[in-house]
A and B are shown apart, each in its own frame.
Chain A
Amino acid sequence: MDNLTIEGSAKTPTIEFKGEGTLLIKGRSIPENSIEFYKPLIDWIGNYGGSPQSNTEVNIQLEYFNTSSSKCILDVFKKLETLNGTNVAINWYYEEDDEDMLEAGEDYQAIIDIPFKMIEVEEL
């Protein structure tokens, strides 16, 4: 399984999806067209699902995301929900005092049937 690596930009996050079972989305996600950006991520998860590791750890370390990205992030989680034969866990990071980001994580947690861990950090 090839890794998927995308370098972050002012409007798009850093992506490090590794075949060894760790998936990272980090930075800002505020592109005007988020569907275009997120499609390869969802495709990658689909391929990974063919022979996943026994554990899959997903780390979401977003500083900002726009509403256009919010539906795409949900689609990423929904794709992860479809994986069989692996224990998926999502770590949702947020900066201390960033209640909006914590709340956003809790919204996904309420919708998605995957264990979430909310992790408060000083700085992302």
Chain B
Amino acid sequence: MIDIFELYKNMERNNIILSFKVAITSELLSSVLQIMESKMDDLDESLKTRRKVFNVLVECLQNLYHHIDDFEIEGSPEEIAKLKSAVFMISRNEGYYNVVTGNFLLSENVDKLTDRINTINSFDRAQLKEYYKSILNNGEMSAKGGGGLGFIDIAKKSGEKLEYSFSKVDETYSFFTLIVKIEQQ
């Protein structure tokens, strides 16, 4: 039997504002944004911090949202539901907001994603800006309009390197964790 009080204390210890394990929908996304806006309002955060956290949140959550949509998997309804659910968490401590997301992906895509994030992390601010502009203007666009700008934008707005890891689940699937830090201003 899960000990909810333990879970609560754990969240409290880690200064977690909000945490979900769910398949992201458009409606949920709207609610989370609304909750976080009023939370930051209550906490009297500066406009700058609010904007940055909001921007990063939008990109992180929409990444999850589109990923679930694109994620073609086979299996029983239970298996599909499990693989399509994601975890996200927002915490605030020691002058930083942390936005953490976790989702399943095909292990065959791990190398590609690792390369993409490492490339972004290798850039300084000025290089990131140029990289963003070149991708923006390369004319390519995914069916949903993103076209690979999400991670670049997250790195640009947060001003921090993207922290990430992969855990192997089985031969087919891995679990991807992304941690984005945003300094309070």
A residues bordering B, Cβ < 8 Å? 10-11, 30, 32-35, 64, 66-72, 74, 95, 97-98, 100, 103, 107, 110-111
Looking at the complex, which one of B48, B65, B136, B156 makes contact with A74 (CB distance below 8 Å)?
Answer: B136
Q: Which of A67, A97, A103, A110 contacts B149 (CB 8 A)?
A: A67
Please tell me if the beta carbons of A67 and B47 are within 8 angstroms of each other in the complex. no
What's the least CB distance linking B167 to chain A, in Å? 27
Minimum C-beta distance from B22 to chain A (A):
16
Number of B residues contacting the other chain (C-beta, 8 Å)? 33
B154 nearest in chain A by CB position:
A67
Cβ of B144 under 8 Å from chain A: yes
A-B contact pairs, 15 of them (CB 8 A): A32-B29, A32-B66, A32-B144, A33-B145, A66-B59, A67-B153, A68-B62, A69-B145, A71-B147, A72-B145, A97-B47, A98-B51, A100-B51, A107-B132, A110-B133
- Shortest A39–chain B CB gap in Å is 11
Bound-complex Cα distance A2 to B144 (A): 28
> B133 to chain A: which residues have CB within 8 Å?
107, 110-111
Residue ID in chain B nearest A97 by CB atoms: B48
A32 vs B157: C-alpha distance in the bound complex, in angstroms?
19
- Given contacts A71-B146, A98-B47, could you give 14 more A-B pairs where the C-beta distance is less than 8 Å? A11-B30, A33-B145, A35-B141, A66-B58, A66-B59, A67-B146, A68-B145, A70-B149, A100-B51, A100-B52, A100-B157, A103-B129, A110-B133, A111-B136
Q: Which residue of A lies closest to B29 (CB)?
A: A32
- Cα distance A33–B143 in the bound complex, in angstroms: 8
Say yes or no: A35-B58 contact (C-beta < 8 A), given A74-B136, A107-B136.
Answer: no
Q: How many A-B residue pairs have CB under 8 A?
A: 73
Instruction: Give the interface of B toward A (CB within 8 A).
Output: 26, 29-30, 33-34, 47-48, 51-52, 54-55, 58-59, 62, 65-66, 129, 132-133, 136-137, 141, 143-147, 149-150, 152-153, 156-157
Q: Collect the chain A residues with CB atoms within 8 Å of residue B33's CB.
A: 10, 30
Which residues of the partner chain A approach B58 to less than 8 Å between Cβ atoms? 30, 64, 66
Contacts known (A66-B59, A97-B48); A35 close to B145, Cβ less than 8 A: yes
Chain A residues closer than 8 Å to B137, beta-carbon distance: 74, 111
Q: Which 3 A-B pairs have the closest CB atoms?
A: A67-B149, A68-B145, A34-B145
Given contacts A97-B48, A107-B136, contact A64 B145 (CB under 8 A): no
Identify the interface centre among B33, B47, B58, B65: most chain A CB within 10 Å of its CB.
B58
Q: How far is the CA of A97 from the CA of B48 in the complex (A)?
A: 7
Contacts of B149 in A (CB 8 A): 67, 70-71
